[in-house]
């Protein structure tokens, strides 16, 4: 008996982690090891290893596992420009994930979507509005994506010194943003400069700052190498350069692409061997890693190389406390009533409030009064649960649509009419007579239009677009514009408020003249209807900012398949867009003055120079309403020796100011933020003039109130 106990010393939490892992892996047969490299890992009873489903999702709440708080979609959370709130949301999500995991264990065998290894966040760069999965990202800017990604990963994984709360998995590493229809065969070609300046920073931040314990590879190739078997991405950069210690998981079904579509191998055995050798430790989807047994027999891979993958996988499971007594794991005591508790539901409402972007407000049409005699709420998304949820969503019994939110906000004497008005996307006639019956002398009309995940999303996820999930056009779908014009004809003197829902930029150029005010609400989650009503009636002063550029038309963009950053996003696009990255209006106004810089140079060309430059500015709420301002700092290298962005975000801070209140907001810039990149993608500092701009938006936005200064930096 004593001998058997010593064989299972990996169950002793007092022993060093590495010793426990080595003891466990050393006792497994080759077939047992190979079986553990699949996302459905079978039990090994003789070693007291239970079955485990690695695949779980929590993009904006625990997904696909029953009751859970549904927060706004990722792109909406990015519009909050609020790192602290993002961290609190992720902490709430991981609370619910832990509670659901332990409750599922009590009910018997652990099922898929109840595990602790979550494949999120998506920190790909949203470089083109056509991409259906752009909604899953934090937008187009590497700095914003990095900060929100780090906050989310930290919130998920917790702060315990010994245990992970859950595992965060930044994806899809590394250059991946459509087209969806080509993702299994496409080669995303990006220059070394674009790789380092745009596509890699968010992944690096999540790995080095947040210590994310997992990374998911992409389906496509990047510069000729399949991402799930790329020596450059997985070995040279991720592990050797960034010091990543966790495990890599393939995108689901991605290993089959190696031989079926990328054709870099000729069989499942070769594909599995190549992927594991290059650092992909876990196979999601398909049944390709079982062929690793055959691959060992064919000398395509050694058992020791498979052991390396096993060590990484079981290190994660041990760090999650899966083999330890529950009383020694601090997160094991999170109770079931944490799921959709009042605190989390209120947090979802707060995030939805902060995500809403006010794009237009002519003659202060908003906010509306609550004691209006009649309000008409119309449109295909006005009372549509699907428009709130987005993809990778959980299920909530407390969903509040915009119609319901407005109905619950107005006075008891107010009459509220609802009318769907037109189909979301079908080319069906709009019946003017029927619509007019409910539009007699309204005091206000609220049109809720836009997209749902029926029209944009992932390949094979039910998207109805001709682009296989991507959009081929970015205007309002179906006959929504026609319906908006009909509302305009019947509105009389009443304000017409347009609420647009969607996960990506929508061309509103034709719709804009028919709306007195425009709110972009994204896919705002289960409390979206309440948040929209809060903004419409002034209970919350809108403060969201666009995390993506809204182009005027697709003509302003390079071809979808072109991964060069030239001409893309606010950093490299020269033509004026419809709405700028970072833009958003408020019910109050803010002014900036006294921009100050302390410490104007770095004395060496060392990017690791730990000194910083302090930038401070005074911000004043000059209006008559309290509100949040999102202070944004942009940096420009005025005379660079290599191509650089026009300007780039390097700091943001959300501050709440009462009417008339002033506050000093400060940022600290490090040497890396002043770096530029040569043709080989190497970062370097050079002496020159740098322009620093701080305001409520980009320096070229006339409504941002930005103050700007130029400074000579000596290296």
Instruction: List, in order, residues 6 or more apart from 336 with CB less than 8 Å away.
Output: 99, 100, 103
324 is catalytic: no
Place of tokens 């190389």: 305
**Rounded Cα–Cα distance for residues 553 and 556 (Å):** 6
Residue among 180, 177, 117, 181 nearest 142 (CA): 177
456 is catalytic: yes
Active-site entry in 456, 516, 629, 650: 456
Whether 118 and 167 have beta carbons less than 8 Å apart is answered as: yes
Strand 496-501: give its sheet, edge to edge.
357-361, 517-520, 496-501, 444-450, 374-378, 415-419
**Could you tell me the two tokens for 341?**
């508790």
Whether 627 and 538 have beta carbons less than 8 Å apart is answered as: no
Question: Residue 297 phi/psi, 5° resolution?
Answer: -65, -30
Residue among 375, 656, 361, 631 nearest 512 (CA): 361
Whether 247 and 282 have beta carbons less than 8 Å apart is answered as: yes
Active-site entry in 95, 140, 204, 251: 251
**Rounded Cα–Cα distance for residues 647 and 70 (Å):** 35
> What would the DSSP string read from start to end of 166-177?
SB---BSBSS--
Question: What's the DSSP call for residue 638?
Answer: T
Q: What is the largest CA-CA distance in the chain?
A: 87
Whether 366 and 408 have beta carbons less than 8 Å apart is answered as: no
Question: What's the DSSP call for residue 674?
Answer: G
**Rounded Cα–Cα distance for residues 370 and 653 (Å):** 32
Query: β-strand 225-226 against 707-713: which pairing, if any?
Result: unpaired
Q: How many CB atoms lie within 10 A of CB 462?
A: 10
Whether 550 and 168 have beta carbons less than 8 Å apart is answered as: no
**Rounded Cα–Cα distance for residues 480 and 30 (Å):** 59
**Could you tell me the two tokens for 581?**
């990255």
**Could you tell me the two tokens for 284?**
């999601």
Residue among 254, 102, 106, 242 nearest 176 (CA): 254
Place of tokens 């403060």: 543
Strand 590-598: give its sheet, edge to edge.
590-598, 613-621, 662-669
Instruction: List, in order, residues 6 or more apart from 242 with CB less than 8 Å away.
Output: 204, 207, 208
Whether 384 and 400 have beta carbons less than 8 Å apart is answered as: no
**Rounded Cα–Cα distance for residues 37 and 295 (Å):** 14
Q: Specify the 3-state DSSP secondary structure of 597.
A: strand
**Rounded Cα–Cα distance for residues 365 and 499 (Å):** 13
**Could you tell me the two tokens for 174?**
């590394």
**Could you tell me the two tokens for 320?**
């999650």
Residue among 120, 100, 113, 533 nearest 344 (CA): 100
Whether 384 and 452 have beta carbons less than 8 Å apart is answered as: yes
**Rounded Cα–Cα distance for residues 140 and 79 (Å):** 11
Question: Residue 198 phi/psi, 5° resolution?
Answer: -130, -50
Active site residues: 251, 456
């Amino acid at each position: 008996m004593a001998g058997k106990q010593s064989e299972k010393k990996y169950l002793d939490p007092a022993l060093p982690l590495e010793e426990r892992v080595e003891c466990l892996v050393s006792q497994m047969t080759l077939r047992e090891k190979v079986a553990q490299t699949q996302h459905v890992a079978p039990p090994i009873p003789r070693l007291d290893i239970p079955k485990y489903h690695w695949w779980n999702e929590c993009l904006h709440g625990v997904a696909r596992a029953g009751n859970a708080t549904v927060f706004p979609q990722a792109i909406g959370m990015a519009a909050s420009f609020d790192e602290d709130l993002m961290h609190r949301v992720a902490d709430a999500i991981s609370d619910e994930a832990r509670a659901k995991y332990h409750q599922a264990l009590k009910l018997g065998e652990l099922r898929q979507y109840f595990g602790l290894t979550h494949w999120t966040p998506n920190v790909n760069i949203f470089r083109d509005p056509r991409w259906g999965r752009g909604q899953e990202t934090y937008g187009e800017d590497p700095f914003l994506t990095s900060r929100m990604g780090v906050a989310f990963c930290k919130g998920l994984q917790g702060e315990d010194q010994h245990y992970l709360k859950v595992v965060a998995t930044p994806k899809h590493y590394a250059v991946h943003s459509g087209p969806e229809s080509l993702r299994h065969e496409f080669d995303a070609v990006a220059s070394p400069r674009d790789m380092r300046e745009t596509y890699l920073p968010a992944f690096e931040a999540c790995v080095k700052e947040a210590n994310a314990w997992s990374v998911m590879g992409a389906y496509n190739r990047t510069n000729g190498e399949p991402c799930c078997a790329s020596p450059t991405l997985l070995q040279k950069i991720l592990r050797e350069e960034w010091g990543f210690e966790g495990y890599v998981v393939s995108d689901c079904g991605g290993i089959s692409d190696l031989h079926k579509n990328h054709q870099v191998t000729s069989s499942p055995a070769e594909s599995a061997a190549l992927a594991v050798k290059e650092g992909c430790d876990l196979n999601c989807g398909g049944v390709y890693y079982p062929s690793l047994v055959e691959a060992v027999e064919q000398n395509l891979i050694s058992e020791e190389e498979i052991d390396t993958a096993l060590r990484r996988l079981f290190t994660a499971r041990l760090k999650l406390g899966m083999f330890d007594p529950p009383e020694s794991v601090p997160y094991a005591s999170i109770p079931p009533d944490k799921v959709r508790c009042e605190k989390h539901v209120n947090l979802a409402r707060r995030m939805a409030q902060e995500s809403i972007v006010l794009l237009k407000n002519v003659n202060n049409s908003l906010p509306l009064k609550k004691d209006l005699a009649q309000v008409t709420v119309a449109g295909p998304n006005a009372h549509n649960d699907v428009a709130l949820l987005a993809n990778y969503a959980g299920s909530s019994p407390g969903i509040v649509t915009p119609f319901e939110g407005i109905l619950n906000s107005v006075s008891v004497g107010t009459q509220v009419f609802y009318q769907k008005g037109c189909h979301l996307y079908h080319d069906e006639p709009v019946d003017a007579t029927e619509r007019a019956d409910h539009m007699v002398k309204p005091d206000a009309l609220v049109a809720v239009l836009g997209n749902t995940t029926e029209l944009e999303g992932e390949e094979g996820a039910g998207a109805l677009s001709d682009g296989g999930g991507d959009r081929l056009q970015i205007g309002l779908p179906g006959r929504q514009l026609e319906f908006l014009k009909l509302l305009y004809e019947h509105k009389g003197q009443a304000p017409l408020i347009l609420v647009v829902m969607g996960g990506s930029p929508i061309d509103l150029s034709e719709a804009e003249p028919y709306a007195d005010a425009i709110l972009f609400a994204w896919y705002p989650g289960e409390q979206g209807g309440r948040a929209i009503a809060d903004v419409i009636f002034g209970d919350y002063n809108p403060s969201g900012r666009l995390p993506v550029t809204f182009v005027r038309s697709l003509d302003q963009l390079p071809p979808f398949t072109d991964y060069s950053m030239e001409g893309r996003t606010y950093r490299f696009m020269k033509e004026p867009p419809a709405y700028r990255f970072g833009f958003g209006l408020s019910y109050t106004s803010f002014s900036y003055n006294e921009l100050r810089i302390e410490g104007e140079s770095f004395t060496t060309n060392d990017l690791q120079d730990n000194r910083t430059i302090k930038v401070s500015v005074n911000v004043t709420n000059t209006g008559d309403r309290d509100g949040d301002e999102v202070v944004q700092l942009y940096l420009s290298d005025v005379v660079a020796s290599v191509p650089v962005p026009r300007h780039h975000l390097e700091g943001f801070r959300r501050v709440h100011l009462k009417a008339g209140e002033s506050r000093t907001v400060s940022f600290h810039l490090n040497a890396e933020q002043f770096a530029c990149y040569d043709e080989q993608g190497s970062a370097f500092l050079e002496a020159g003039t740098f322009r620093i701009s701080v305001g409520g938006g980009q320096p070229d936005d006339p409504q941002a109130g930005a103050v700007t200064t130029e400074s000579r930096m000596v290296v």
